[in-house]
């Protein structure tokens, strides 16, 4: 009788440990594989929307983006390497720095 009870207790704990390991493995896989892909896609969609709005605003004001003048391989390379977005971020940071430096109590 003791062997039967001991066997049931061991089986109960073994099943519990296996469920725990399976849950941890599933969570590990989701957090390391699925979540980064979802976040990158979400970030890309947000940036794409912002860049679309910026492009529409720039073309509406008579300004034209520099990358439109790129043709052929140069245009493809600029779009693939996302040079317009990078240039936009750099110029935005420079404009932010210039505007902050104009505030009297924030100057260095």
- pLDDT tens string 2-12: 777 778 778 87
Whose tokens are 């977005």? That residue is: 85
Across the chain, mean pLDDT equals 81
Residue 91 has, within 13 A of its CA and on its CB side, a CA count of: 6
Q: Is the pLDDT of residue 66 over 70?
A: no
Query: 67 pLDDT band (50/70/90 cuts)?
Result: very low
Tokens linked to 29: 């896989």
Higher pLDDT, 50 or 67: 50
């Amino acid at each position: 009788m003791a062997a039967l009870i001991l066997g049931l207790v061991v089986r109960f704990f073994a099943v519990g440990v296996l469920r725990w390991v399976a849950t941890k493995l599933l969570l590990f896989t989701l957090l390391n594989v699925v979540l980064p892909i979802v976040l990158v896609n979400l970030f890309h969609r947000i940036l794409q929307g912002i860049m679309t709005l910026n492009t529409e605003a720039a073309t509406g004001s008579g300004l034209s983006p520099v990358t439109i003048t790129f043709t052929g391989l140069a245009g493809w390379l600029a779009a693939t390497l996302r040079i317009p977005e990078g240039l936009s971020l750099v110029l935005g940071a420079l404009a932010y720095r210039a505007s902050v430096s104009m505030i009297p109590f924030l100057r260095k």
